[in-house]
Amino acid sequence: MGKLRTLPAEDGFRMPGEFERHDGCIMIWPKRPGSWNYGAVKAREAFRSVALAIAESETVYMLAAPDVMENAHRMFFSAEHGASGAARTGRPDIRLIPMESDDAWARDVGPTFVVNENGEVRGIDWEFNAWGGTVDGLYAHWEKDDRVAEQVCRELGYPCYEAHPFVLEGGAIHSDGEGTVLVTEACLLSEGRNPMLSKEEIELRLKQYLGAEKIIWLKHGIYQDETNEHVDNVCAFARPGEVLLAWTDHKEDPQYAYSDGCLKTLEQETDARGRKFVVHKLPIPSRPICVTKEDLGGYEFEDGEDVREAGERLAASYVNFYLSNGGVIVPQFGDEADQKAVEILGRVFPERRIYPIAARDILLGGGNIHCITQQIPAGRNRQEE
């Protein structure tokens, strides 16, 4: 089946909110030695914890390259590691799918899904260039990653829109499901993505593909976020008209100016339905989370790949949570702010169970819990019809 060449908005499709009910979640089993130190051993434990928490209320589709498929199967289904959710419940809530990729950032390389009023679900295949291509991309080869979205749609039976050569990642957009999409200027206007397009032209593309009526442009994301400051690390919808914003009260921290700028924009703006935003401040860790010399010894970097340095500040943020159907999977960094983040998210999402997950080993790879997960909205796909 070929790709769709029409525009989703014209076909009656929209990007849903992440708080809406969905059918499942896509993840990718980690292996890249330049992202996951010491053979990805600790990273895989963290990914496993995230997947099992999500699998309690929805199916997890775990993509794994052939050379790590056996490891993934053992981690989820062997007696050595304990039974997975599938064994507990008798339903296939973790499904392993063989698929090559360059790294494990499912949010950014997987398809962005859109839905219509009839419950149909379709995917969008953006161009992926490792967060900046030859300008400031994080690795030199990303061909396998760029094929993931189309392959996922084919594997799971979803029609797929062709959006190449427009460069975009899933973490760069956040929707309220009712026509409002959050983005950051630092990311979408970066030189390594779509330099031939103006801000107005980029906004038009987002409206055409996401069914958006209004784009809210925040200036910055999280300080030193190597994705050029994805919005999903700094601000996320809890529900229409209500957002969570990464925050610090320490004015000497560079993040203060970034977050304060976001807050001012949100206070001045309304959403696509004319509502003023309710903003919940979610603290960043009380101290910077940094790469240590011990961490650095476990990486193997390829030529052209962005390298880590001892003392490098990582873009830690509790806003980078994942909403499963039944819970909130919340990153934890061994910081005193961990519990405060859990408490705030518990108040914002009283109907959901909170799953605190140790996520420093995911952060060391360059991202967080939201970055390694991509939702599949509830609806019908062509295989089921």
Q: What is the pLDDT of residues 323-380, one digit of tens each?
A: 999 999 999 999 999 999 999 999 999 999 999 999 999 999 999 999 999 999 998 7
d(CA 267, CA 363): 30
Asked whether the whole model's pTM tops 0.85, one would answer yes
> Residue 343 burial by CB count (10 A; 0-12/13-18/19+): exposed, middle or buried?
exposed
Closest CA to 228 of 188, 256, 201: 188
| CB 79, CB 107: distance < 8 Å | no
d(CA 358, CA 371): 15
pLDDT at 297: 86
Q: Is 371 a catalytic residue?
A: yes
pLDDT at 87: 41
Q: Given the structure tokens 């499709």, which residue do they identify?
A: 13
d(CA 16, CA 299): 37
Residue of 153, 160, 187, 371 marked catalytic: 371
Give me the amino acid identity at 222. I
Q: What is the pLDDT of residues 283-332, one digit of tens each?
A: 999 999 999 999 988 899 999 898 888 999 999 999 999 999 999 999 99
Residue ranges of the chain whose pLDDT lies below 50: 84-92, 384-385
How is residue 258 written in tokens? 């970034």
pLDDT at 81: 61
Q: Is 276 strand, coil or helix?
A: strand
In sequence order, which residues have a C-beta less than 8 Å from that of residue 246 and are 6 or more positions away?
Answer: 222, 233, 234, 235, 255, 259, 282, 283, 284, 317, 318, 319
